[in-house]
Structure 1
């Protein structure tokens, strides 16, 4: 049996579970008339999820003080849909982080405040599956709450989903997205081009830059390509030189070494992009 540890409201309780220790239970009238130590039959709870971290539990309790229960229910349903879609359990912080973010985003939208997201496109290119899931959530919220959420907000939602899937800090993911956007600016300036953001070569370059950053941060480096490096240096000196400039920027921002072999892959991506616009 499951025993009540703390009543959060009539429909949400924190309980002691025989297999998961503490869990958050959700069900209509679940907490009504209950007190600490009371038993709750498992079939009474419509939903449950685990919040192992005490800090996450505290944040969730605070969340319930200002977020409507109906909105909590919508978000929990969608978080369950994300887990089913990707076939994995999400980092528990999404119950707090994404719910809180969207609650205040919707308030701003209702007040007529615009949502700016200069990195939306880079986010869509880097995390297409998460972005598609975010689009689903926006459509769901439109149907449930009759509200039109602007396109820029989809990128922010996608980052929350990616953070929960990858168990990576949202601030770190945001920094990486901004870093990629900055690198694209450097490329346009140095090659004196305006990149067509719909070009397939641009899509490949953005994804490659994100993968490079991930590899550098995890120290999962590529194999050496010494012979190919010399050929590219001779054949494509402009793009080869630029690749090293980009690598130095990444190294400074990430505070980790970027392996020399990365010059080969970057040069190839840059040359393909440069060829389409020159």
Structure 2
């Protein structure tokens, strides 16, 4: 295999003998390596192939940002929950879940509490995924010295929901890809900057939008009655909320839907996170 890009000492982008671009991980795999060189396959521990439509460079960026031990933790937890097939068939889920677990572990170590107020809604809309998520969380806590709170199962469930983001219709995939870029342009214009599509923050925002597409496609948007979450976010992040309303309006037009107030509120939360990142 030929190295195409070096992300860090342990993660590289390579082209396989079949001509597929894949992300490879392994201790020291990228150390002093350069594009054009041959991969030392004896160092390869895991291969990530973007079989679910994710851009391979974004996938590599996310892999490089997560400590290897947290990727291993996600693998062990998914397999313990009976989701080995997901590990093999959805590499982007493994990466984004690893990223989430890594951030959650960091929050617990720093004594930062984050409540997930949507457990009732997620349990109603995605009961199977929530039950699987609870099994994943139990496996994580059995393997890790840091114990994550029960509420993390809600976020893990949304990662599992994203596995269903496939239609078999390439034209629909192309359409959503175009919409994603348009939404990034709208957010960038609102803040007078051009968002860096290769940044981790933007990649996370794209992941959130993919979750939203899943819920719109399945007719299962998140919605509270009344929405205390939306009110709190609207008051604390007014500029981000106004931008989220623009994004929601665009989605209404492009996908012939009506984005709910709770979905708009969570869009605002992610927009605020993206624009607060000085690297974007």
Contact 2:63 2:95 in 1 (8 A): yes
Contact 1:7 1:35 in 2 (8 A): yes
Give the gaps of 5 or more residues in structure 1: 185-217, 220-250, 255-278
Matches within 5 A, 1:89-168: 89-90=89-90, 92-167=91-166
SS in structure 2 of the partner of residue 40 of structure 1 = coil
SS in structure 2 of the partner of residue 113 of structure 1 = coil
Partner Cα distance (1:34, 1:150) in 2: 40
SS in structure 2 of the partner of residue 13 of structure 1 = strand
TM-score, structure 2 as length reference: 0.53
Matches within 5 A, 1:34-53: 34-40=33-39, 44-51=43-50
TM-score, structure 1 as length reference: 0.53
Contact 1:123 1:177 in 2 (8 A): no
The residue that corresponds to 1:84 in the other structure is: 84
The residue that corresponds to 2:225 in the other structure is: 182
Is 1:61 the equivalent of 2:105?
Answer: no
CA displacement, residues 174-209 of structure 1 (integer Å, 9 cap, x when unaligned): 684422x4399xxxxxxxxxxxxxxxxxxxxxxxxx
Contact 1:20 1:50 in 2 (8 A): no
Is 1:169 the equivalent of 2:213?
Answer: no
Distance 1:146 1:20, change over 3 A: farther
Partner Cα distance (1:51, 1:182) in 2: 38
Partner Cα distance (1:60, 1:45) in 2: 15
Contact 1:134 1:158 in 2 (8 A): yes
Contact 1:56 1:96 in 2 (8 A): no
Shift of 1:23: 0.2
Shift of 1:19: 2.8
Shift of 1:27: 2.5
Question: Please, what is the CA RMSD of the aligned residues?
Answer: 3.9
Shift of 1:157: 0.8
Partner Cα distance (2:19, 2:137) in 1: 32
Partner Cα distance (2:62, 2:85) in 1: 29
Choose between structure 1 and 2 for higher RCO, CA contacts under 8 A separated by at least 6 residues: 2
The count of corresponding residues between Structure 1 and Structure 2 is 188
Contact 1:14 1:23 in 2 (8 A): yes
